Chain A
Amino acid sequence: METEKSNKIKVVLLSSIAEDLGWNEKFLTIEGSQMQVFSVWNLINSNLPQDNIIVSINQEITDMDAMINPDDEVAFMPMFTGG
């Protein structure tokens, strides 16, 4: 039996970005087969400046031009301050 393909992506926000936007994660439905990271950022946001934001797809760092596929996890996070 053919399973119906999901068209949802998981969006994760971390640290100050999660606090500024008031949520940590949510699922979004994308139009078509792919969506650019930058378009997701525009969709969820906000007036936060785009500078110095780190983005990842499926927990691998990428950039705002990368494409997201259904079932992917995209995350937006500020510069790291560990150690």
Chain B
Amino acid sequence: MRWHLCQCLPVDNLRIKFKILEETFNPYKEFELWEKVNKNSANSFFIGRVRPFDQFGNDLKKLEIVHYKGMTENYIKKYLMKISEKQDDLCIFLLHRIGFIYPNEPIILIAVSANHRGIANKYLQEILEFTKYKVPFWKKEWTFKGSSWVKKNTDLGFEL
């Protein structure tokens, strides 16, 4: 399996870094590198991985994610800039895969740091829901029988 460390472009300042990746990545290595350069004491991170089954319960061969090049990057950038302006101690790191992704490989890494845990956790959750509902990404599930587009996101798992 290939791992690589991503070369993210910082947005305007060093507080926001994001990248859309076409190859798999090691979320722990990426997080470790990112954590070395941000000095906040409260760090939250989320790793989303590919489930081994599709929306109908069949064994999954691979997941495909497509995006709208240009628009997707701009929507993420604008949103992250907007929330970093609300909170001046916030540092955000976001990696999102596109292309073919295999069961258990990472789809997304979000890391947020702040001076207090509440802020880090709050914005981590907010950024995750934003990437699910407000950014042009689409998932297609490939099984050994064929493929189908995912019609809706999975549930949050609890009531907000």
Contacts and interface: CB of A to CB of B under 8 A. Distances in A.
Nearest to B65: A82
A2 interface: no
B138 A80 contact: yes
Contacts, number: 67
Interface of A: 12, 14-16, 19, 54, 56, 59, 75, 77-83
Interface of B: 48, 65-68, 70-71, 74, 96, 107-108, 128-129, 131-140, 149-153
Given A81-B137, A82-B135, A83-B131, A14 B68 contact: yes
A19 B66 CA distance: 12
A68 to B, nearest CB: 16
A61 to B, nearest CB: 9
Given A79-B152, A81-B137, A14 B66 contact: yes
